[in-house]
Structure 1
Amino acid sequence: METHNGRTHRPSLDSGDHRDAITDLIDHLQRGHDTGDADTYDGLFAGDILWGSPKGQVLQGFAPLNAIHRTQLTGAPASPASVFELAQASAPTDDVVIAQIRRRAVNGAFSEMAMYVLVRRDDRWWLAGGQNTPITDVLPAVD
């Protein structure tokens, strides 16, 4: 570990252009949500995706996650009507993108922020992992 005057040198990791991967992911999420179509919503999800829900549940694999999304995304548009928007992103390598994408409910209902990890394989981007967290101004009490 390289240090200078007792401080660790911390490199900047953002090394590449990531707009196409993120635009494609947001497009799938938005179209799937707007049409209530889980297969479109999950269209870029890898077979062994790691997923965390806003309630702390975790699972692995496309099939169980797609089954959950099929029950949640019923009817067009899915409720609540929402807009997906990029908050920030970084590409630590040419084949990995980390993005924070906000799902903002149009009517002020439950909204969430998700951190997504996209990985490029054979010139195609796949979602390898996602972790959602609610957006709220109210934090839990500290004991």
Structure 2
Amino acid sequence: MTNSVIESGRESRPALHDESVDVGTVVGELLDHLHGGLDGASADTYDDMFADDILWGTPKGRVLKGFAPLNAIHRQMVPAKVAPESRFEAAQAIAPAPGVVVAQVGRHAIDGGFSEMAMYVLVERAGRWWVAGAQNTPIVDTLPTR
């Protein structure tokens, strides 16, 4: 684990990333599920890594807790192709604690439609990685005005 401390003004801040965790493999597995679920129009594939008590934030700022209600929504949205054909790509990821990975993942629409950036929190339990929480944010060039 990296235990370096970065001097920032008057404060010392730890660098939390644990370099012994292969975040690329963990995030790659997540990307495979997300991409495979959208390409195959399967909410169950898309949601396969989601924990039973997942916390979810939508691009419209709504929040939801629990696999069952989220999967029910995804079972309607994924086959209806609400999200356009997309490319998923990891933007960055860290492992701030043993068995925890935080990743920022972009979903980029291929032929128009909306794109979004999501932050995923993954937790390892008994050798398997689970998404504990996610927050989706639309990718836009400008913010709304008042």
The separation in 2 between residues aligned to 1:86 and 1:107, in whole angstroms, is: 20
Q: Which runs of 5+ in 1 are unaligned?
A: none
The separation in 2 between residues aligned to 1:5 and 1:98, in whole angstroms, is: 23
Q: Which runs of 5+ in 2 are unaligned?
A: 1-6
The separation in 2 between residues aligned to 1:50 and 1:68, in whole angstroms, is: 14
Structure 2 match to 1:9:
12
Checking the alignment, whether the CA contact within 8 Å between 2:23 and 2:95 is kept in structure 1 is yes
Q: Which has the higher contact order (CA 8 A, sep 6+)?
A: 1
| Structure 1 ranges of 4+ moved more than 3 A | none
Amino acid at match of 1:129: G
Q: Structure 1 residues 126, 5: closer, same or farther in 2, change over 3 A?
A: closer
Q: In the alignment, is residue 51 of structure 1 matched against residue 56 of structure 2?
A: yes
Q: In the alignment, is residue 88 of structure 1 matched against residue 97 of structure 2?
A: no
Q: How does 1:1-143 map to 2 (within 5 A)?
A: 7-15=10-18, 16-74=21-79, 79-142=83-146
CA displacement at 1:108 relative to structure 2: 2.6
Q: Structure 1 residues 59, 79: closer, same or farther in 2, change over 3 A?
A: closer
The separation in 2 between residues aligned to 1:66 and 1:34, in whole angstroms, is: 17
**Is the deviation greater in 91-100 or in 43-52?**
91-100
Normalized against structure 1, the TM-score is what? Answer: 0.91
The separation in 1 between residues aligned to 2:113 and 2:82, in whole angstroms, is: 13
CA displacement at 1:19 relative to structure 2: 1.5
Structure 1 match to 2:3:
none
Checking the alignment, whether the CA contact within 8 Å between 1:14 and 1:90 is kept in structure 2 is yes
**Is the deviation greater in 33-42 or in 66-75?**
66-75
Checking the alignment, whether the CA contact within 8 Å between 2:105 and 2:119 is kept in structure 1 is yes
Matched length = 139
Deviations, residues 24-63 of structure 1 (Å, cap 9, x unaligned): 0000000000011000000000000000000010010000
Normalized against structure 2, the TM-score is what? Answer: 0.89
The separation in 2 between residues aligned to 1:73 and 1:37, in whole angstroms, is: 6
Could you say what the CA RMSD is over the residues aligned between the two structures, in angstroms? 1.9
The separation in 2 between residues aligned to 1:49 and 1:111, in whole angstroms, is: 22
